[in-house]
Structure 1
Amino acid sequence: MRRITRILVRHCYVPVLLVGVNTTAVALMAHDRSKAWLLGLLLVAVALSFAAERVLPYRRPWNADRGDTRRDLAHTVVNEGLVFASLAAIPALADRLVLAQLWPAHWPFAFQVLTAVLLADLGITLTHYASHHVDVLWRFHAVHHSVKRFYGLDGLMKHPLHQAVETTAGVAPLLLLGLPASVAAALALAVAVQLLLQHSNADYHVCPFKHVLALNEGHRFHHLKWAGVGDVNFGLFTLLWDHLLRTHSYDRTRRFTSDALGMAAKPDHPDAYLAQLAEPFRRSRTG
């Protein structure tokens, strides 16, 4: 039974979250259901993420609390709370921000969400790339790179100001085109699910799709701590823009440990939640 469960996690975990959870969200938003359903779906996705990591961990020690779980939960609650709050503000913002009603509202809802995902992926990827090369952005993004283990909640462990910058870069251009609030809501859940998958400690396989989808096999390389080495695989949903930017990297022989993660230039980056929020205002990038 255990062997069957591990096989299911290895090959079905990604489709269940990437297709199953997102498709459910699309169906709910297409029928104008309450956005509270999305919170329920997010909780389901988090629960599945934790379960998969325990059934089939990439590294079992990464499942153990290192005094960081409460901090990561605080990041998750704050950041996702801000996302849901911003969704409520979209109708009011749309009245003021829309430059031209160019959004293809006549398309099937699922295609609208897919279009939003691909366009947001470009804005977020470019902002992520800039965050490794522009000092003021790096100060805030460094919070995310301070992790010493790789598991689902790490994806939601971000400084809220940096998340706001990334979200604005991904969503603001869509709002200018007339993005409907319902599509934005489905996009928001898709981002949260993607971050769970991208940082998951589950040893799942996506075979050749690992060179196309921005999932954990490729994203681990982004978290290598040595200067310059982690400047790869910036994509959130896809690796398309990394291939175009020539920042894609993958080595199937590489195995990761906690010693390879973090920031060599900032080994003393604070671990506590409030200290991480304050850190970007105290120190500039040192490497």
Structure 2
Amino acid sequence: MPELPATATASATEAGRPTTQPRQPISLATVSCFLGVLSLVAVLCFHFPDLLTSREFRAIYTEEFARTLLLAGIAAAFITGTVAVLLDQHKRVALTGVCAATGAVLLGGSDVPFDGPISHTPYSLGLDWFVLALFFSALVFIPLEHQFARRPVAVFRKGWRTDAAYFFMSHVLVQFILIVVTATTSLVVDTAKVPHVQAWIGGLPFLAQFLLAVFVADAAQATLHRCYHRIMVLWRFHAVHHSSPELDWLAGSRVHFVETVMTRSIVLLPLLFLGFSQSAVNAYAVLVGIQAVVAHANIGVRFGWLEYLIVLPRYHHWHHARHTDYWDRNYAIHLPVIDMLMGSFKLPRDGSWPEEYGVFKQESVPEGIVAQHLAPFRGERTYDDYVH
């Protein structure tokens, strides 16, 4: 591990109390634009389900649910946009939302014809996964972060477009990622078998399998995470994730594509190798998706002893801190006990939070999703390029 400069430390906030400074509420025009564009994309998913929707994700929701949600989204986009225009609030943004909702209606709206069955295509985009994940994440976490904000971070903070682009990429390309991950793990799983262990784990009740899967997956993830921090060639990719100067529900999406494939492969490998059922693996996938958002969220609630059982915002925020004492700490994403076993657990007992986030030299990671994806491949870099 490299020696970090003492001047890069950042003190914690006194007593770790969440800020009382309110964030500006989202305007009606922004809500209209958000819902209008999502509604338009959703209608396109109905028109081209074989190309724009994920086969795996389609099994989770029903057509009736999707149509009902689409109708509500279109109606809300029209109402909020119209009110914003009448109140003379961000007219261009509001009209964008109204026009997008109008386009959704002209293309069929919630009554868009759907003949089914959906033809099987080897490759498709996960636009349905993107629309639903973005809608429900924003619906839950934007109000929570407004009400319980740890820091006065604006919804449209610096870098939000970059993080939104990562969110879009990771969801839309979900099937391509699954193909790559499956290819990297199937060979090992098919050639190296432990039938007795697989039979024992496969015979466990679902809840026991799920809890064991969380422990196994988090142990694998935390070990790889430590490698990301200690091996230079891996840190170049992982530095992208640490480059955000602010943390909120969207910031956790900032992950280099190479890191995404590596992490999912390393985590999935022991789960398949040990014979966990598909239902247990699927349940874990849902958990990691939720907890990855929660861990980065700008929520300053004190959870007390619960912070020592599961990874919550304050725990993971210290991992992202520009603080020399925490640069090599708190690698787990689910269970702090993993860090306790690895000797990397560290959490202030006084409830304090970091004051600064990001890599020690912010300029070492460029801005924008394209530049950040190219950066790890450009020239030889050392830790000094990031910390001195």
Q: Same fold (TM over 0.5)?
A: yes
Q: 2:189 aligns with which of 94, 97, 100?
A: 97
Partner residue, 2:363? 267
Which residue, out of 95, 102, 112, partners 2:209? Answer: 112
- 2:262 is matched with which residue: 130, 153, 165? 165
Provide, for residues 81-137 of structure 1, a one-character-per-residue CA deviation record: whole Å limited to 9, x for no partner.
Answer: 444555578888759724244052333323322221111000000100111100011
Q: 1:90 to 1:131 in 2, by over 3 A?
A: closer
Q: What amino acid is aligned across from residue 157 of structure 2 in structure 1?
A: R
Give the equivalent residue in structure 2 for 1:78. 169
Query: Structure 2 matches for 1:217-236, cutoff 5 A?
Result: 217-227=314-324, 229-236=326-333
How big is the alpha-carbon RMSD for the aligned residues of Structure 1 and Structure 2?
A: 2.9
Partner of 1:231, secondary structure, is coil
Determine if contact 2:326/2:346 at 8 Å carries over to the other structure. Answer: no
Q: TM-score, normalised by structure 2?
A: 0.59
Distance 1:107 1:82, change over 3 A: farther
Q: Is the 8 A contact 1:143 1:276 kept in 2?
A: yes
- Which residue matches 2:145? 53
CA contact (8 A) 1:90 1:181 kept: no
- Structure 2, unpaired ranges of 5+: 1-19, 21-56, 63-127
8 Å contact kept, 2:318–2:353: no
Extract unaligned runs of 5+ from structure 1.
1-5, 7-31
Pick one of 59, 62, 69 that aligns with 1:34: 59
Q: Which secondary structure state, in structure 2, belongs to the residue aligned with residue 97 of structure 1?
A: helix
Shift of 1:184: 2.4
- The alpha carbon displacement at 1:247 in A equals 1.4
TM-score normalised to the size of structure 1? 0.77
Find out whether 1:276 has 2:372 as its counterpart.
yes
Change (3 A) 1:203 1:227: closer
Offset at 1:226?
4.1
Match of 2:301 in 1: 204
User: What secondary structure, in the 3-state scheme, does the structure 2 residue paired with 1:280 have?
Assistant: helix
Q: Which has the larger radius of gyration?
A: 2
Counterpart of 2:352 in structure 1 is: 254
| CA–CA separation in structure 1 for the residues paired with 2:249 and 2:146 | 11
The answer for the alignment partner of 1:146 in structure 2 is: 243
Output the amino acid matched with 2:59: S
SS at match of 2:374: helix
Residue 44 of structure 1: aligned partner: 136
Aligned-pair distance for 1:267?
3.1
1:65 corresponds in structure 2 to 156
Number of equivalenced pairs: 254
CA drift at 1:229: 3.4
- Offset of 1:155 from its aligned partner? 1.6
- Which residue matches 2:225? 128
Aligned residue in 2 for 1:14: none
Distance in 1 of aligned mates of 2:178 and 2:213 = 15
CA distance in 2, matches of 1:155, 1:243: 23
Residue 272 of structure 1 aligns with an amino acid whose one-letter code is: G
